[in-house]
């Protein structure tokens, strides 16, 4: 049990996120504030046309908190491309389903962020 809590604070995973799926656009997550995978981080998703890398694509998003291998929809975050990690996310993966709003952008991508960890810089002394 103690090892579980140590894992939440120590050792940053090598892969902060993975992107799966096929689409006619690409998605890049940016650390808007803080650092992944800590609970004080905010991540913004930006989508671009595969053929024209400078051309932004408007996206639909659905955010999920993954607990015990199950996806739980975070209702108040539909169609928002910014996610603020919180203490509720510690020990969970965060997953986002991304689709293009314009019908010319076909397919969908799923971005899964590594398990969220406690940011020990927030400890009180």
Q: What is the DSSP string of 52-112?
A: STTSEE-EEEEEEEEETTEEEE-GGGTT--EEE--GGGBT-EEEEEEEESSTTS-EEEEEE
Q: Is the pTM of the predicted complex or chain greater than 0.75?
A: yes
Element (H, E) at 9: helix 2-9
Give the distance, in angstroms, between the CA of residue 47 and the centroid of all CA atoms in the same chain.
Answer: 14
Per-residue pLDDT tens digits for 58-113: 999 999 999 999 999 998 888 899 999 999 999 999 999 999 999 999 999 999 99
How high is the pLDDT of residue 23?
A: 96
**42 with 24: CB under 8 angstroms?**
no
Per-residue pLDDT tens digits for 24-37: 999 999 988 889 89
Going by CATH, does the domain composed of 15-119 fall within 1.20.1250.20? no
């Amino acid at each position: 049990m103690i090892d579980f809590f140590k894992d939440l604070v120590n050792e940053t995973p090598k892969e902060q996120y993975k992107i799966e799926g096929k689409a006619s656009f690409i998605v890049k997550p940016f650390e808007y504030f803080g650092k992944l995978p800590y609970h004080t981080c905010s991540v913004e998703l930006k989508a671009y046309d595969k053929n024209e890398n400078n051309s932004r694509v408007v996206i639909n998003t659905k955010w999920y908190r993954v607990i015990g291998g199950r996806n739980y929809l975070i209702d108040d975050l539909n169609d928002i491309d910014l996610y603020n990690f919180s203490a509720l996310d510690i020990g969970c993966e965060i997953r986002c389903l991304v689709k293009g709003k314009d019908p010319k952008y076909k397919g969908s991508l799923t971005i899964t962020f590594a398990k969220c960890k406690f940011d020990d810089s927030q400890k009180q002394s």
